[in-house]
Structure 1
């Protein structure tokens, strides 16, 4: 049932195991579903808002997973080119429990716990009893963490009783209880704001993990210069003169030294600036409240003025042009 531009709400439907398997494998390519109880049933409500999807699911015991690295993409072509974009999933446990595994880690989610996992790497979710959970399916680009930072916090439970989880968990519980209200531009804006909260919670969790327990095996601790440089870049994306040289001058270090600090994180200064600008443009193009702005004006707000360059770089990063991406979301 389509309710407004860019929004689809599906009513609750009861499925047996065969029907549920068909629904899951159609929505999430490459997923395997196994281990149901004899009397397995599942009910789900689905809301599709732009490039974000929410699933409120009541299911019997079963296991789902994806064993193949890099094969999970959105269940529909991206931008008409048949190419997927990297996707992430947030799982909030509301009833029952779940064992989530990814990146050589496992965590048990109990009511009031949430965790993140990515469709780019193998994962599994085991539901040993009847359960209810909210799954939010959204582009990887919404998470402004480097790949190594993201990999350090997947399959890690965030409790609604601790830290910023006290803010995030009630927020997503409210979303699950009010899916019918998430319609049109205001619903999309609310979802995006909620995911911004999630990013803040995950970044806080990553920082606590990094400074509390030290870097993970194989991970290089971030230097103070690197952290200051990243902060400066993120707050000055609109500056058309932003460059390795301008960042180095601001931090009173040589360009050579600045490059060395980024190289420790397997990054270059220029690639980080480019990635953050494209991510900001990608985010603004998905915002229904900015639908009246041109692609060029949005790009310019983030320091990029060459329309041809923006289109080429955006297509390389996300697999479709800025206009195709916006058209797909708001058609």
Structure 2
């Protein structure tokens, strides 16, 4: 089962339930201040799944108010983007002078580095949501998405890419079939790819965005294009620029603002996929050079040198270490 219940306040005496919940969620999410009229007997539960770099949490709890002020951000900030999916009830959310009301099925994206206030409500006093914590490095947005009008954002979860993402999250929290460690990493990658595509799609549809935000949208589209074409050994800055109808210089400038080059990012993503496959028992019978070629690195000696520079160990030795200890 992907989501495993790790905490239920029913296992605590009534006077300790609310404090226990506050303490746990400060560790599993980010430190926040809570208030709730149900604090005297707070019945809640929390389930969690680690999908590689992505963390998914399913929460059920009474209505409450969550506040993350600047002083808590200065004390602790994991630098995450958080996607919340409302499953039961509704939520009011405020961040960076933007206010939203999210209903059941809506997707809400926000930033742990900016103060926020959230309120959850439900007619039967039982609220439920799923949160996805994604490291900022995995979602290619500008350094200050709030200032660029990108975040927070209320994203559609009923159709299209949003519907696909919502379906994946619902499956994860309801499916009881076991997942291998390698499967969880792959699913985490799927969640990030869908979220990246959804944000890029929604930004592209907004005709009122400033030029810098449009550039950020193009950057996300290029990142998604690279992920889809990593297996093509001919993938290059020129083919990427041509596919997006921009000059090579303009495409390179987008990456330079992120402290990268296009060629360097392609190499980094290919090596990362190779590293994952080398550690995956499902690919144990495949030669190292075949795995490298599958990700667009057809020259074994070049691949071996690049892998060792990136990870400090030869690919064959890395495979043996991860599969056999």
TM-score bracket, shorter-length normalisation: 0.5 to 0.7
Q: Normalization by structure 2: what TM-score?
A: 0.67
Query: 2:139 aligned with 1:147, yes or no?
Result: no
State the secondary structure of the residue aligned to 1:20. Answer: helix
Matching residue of 2:129: 133
Q: Distance in 1 between matches of 2:273 and 2:152?
A: 25
The root-mean-square deviation of aligned C-alpha atoms, in Å, is 4.7
Of 66, 73, 77, which residue of structure 2 is paired with 1:72?
77
Matching residue of 1:18: 19
Query: 2:267 aligned with 1:272, yes or no?
Result: no
Over 3 Å counting, the alpha-carbon distance change for 1:175 and 1:280 in structure 2 is same
Q: Distance in 2 between matches of 1:111 and 1:283?
A: 35
Q: Distance in 1 between matches of 2:233 and 2:84?
A: 39
Over 3 Å counting, the alpha-carbon distance change for 1:13 and 1:223 in structure 2 is closer
Over 3 Å counting, the alpha-carbon distance change for 1:222 and 1:9 in structure 2 is closer
Residue segments in structure 1 that go unaligned for 5+ positions in a row? 74-85, 316-322
Matching residue of 1:202: 199
Matching residue of 2:169: 172
Over 3 Å counting, the alpha-carbon distance change for 1:49 and 1:266 in structure 2 is closer
- In the TM superposition, residue 197 of structure 1 has moved relative to its aligned partner by 3.1
Q: Distance in 2 between matches of 1:153 and 1:102?
A: 11
Task: Report if aligned partners of 1:100, 1:123 keep a CA contact under 8 Å in 2.
Answer: no
Residue segments in structure 2 that go unaligned for 5+ positions in a row? 313-317
State the secondary structure of the residue aligned to 1:41. Answer: coil
Of 63, 66, 84, which residue of structure 2 is paired with 1:63?
66
**Larger-Rg structure:** 2
Task: Report if aligned partners of 2:161, 2:194 keep a CA contact under 8 Å in 1.
Answer: no
- In the TM superposition, residue 90 of structure 1 has moved relative to its aligned partner by 1.9
Matching residue of 2:33: 33
Query: 2:81 aligned with 1:88, yes or no?
Result: yes
State the secondary structure of the residue aligned to 2:249. Answer: helix
Q: Distance in 2 between matches of 1:223 and 1:177?
A: 33
Q: How many residues align?
A: 294
Over 3 Å counting, the alpha-carbon distance change for 1:132 and 1:8 in structure 2 is closer
Q: Normalization by structure 1: what TM-score?
A: 0.66
- In the TM superposition, residue 261 of structure 1 has moved relative to its aligned partner by 5.4
Q: Deviations over 1:201-254 (max 9, x none)?
A: 233222212xxx233375465899x9998787666545667655x559968x99
Q: Distance in 1 between matches of 2:242 and 2:305?
A: 30
Q: Deviations over 1:127-152 (max 9, x none)?
A: 24341101122344543x34369665
Matching residue of 1:318: none
Matching residue of 2:315: none
Task: Report if aligned partners of 1:214, 1:221 keep a CA contact under 8 Å in 2.
Answer: no
- In the TM superposition, residue 105 of structure 1 has moved relative to its aligned partner by 3.1
Query: 2:282 aligned with 1:282, yes or no?
Result: no
Task: Report if aligned partners of 2:95, 2:117 keep a CA contact under 8 Å in 1.
Answer: no
Query: 2:121 aligned with 1:124, yes or no?
Result: no
State the secondary structure of the residue aligned to 1:181. Answer: coil
Matching residue of 1:50: 52
Q: Distance in 2 between matches of 1:22 and 1:155?
A: 25
Q: Deviations over 1:163-221 (max 9, x none)?
A: 4333332332232233x435324752445434433333233222212xxx233375465
Q: Distance in 1 between matches of 2:188 and 2:173?
A: 11
Greater relative contact order structure (CA < 8 Å, 6+ sep): 1
- In the TM superposition, residue 92 of structure 1 has moved relative to its aligned partner by 0.6
Q: Deviations over 1:287-315 (max 9, x none)?
A: 64766378887566344935565555579
State the secondary structure of the residue aligned to 1:147. Answer: coil
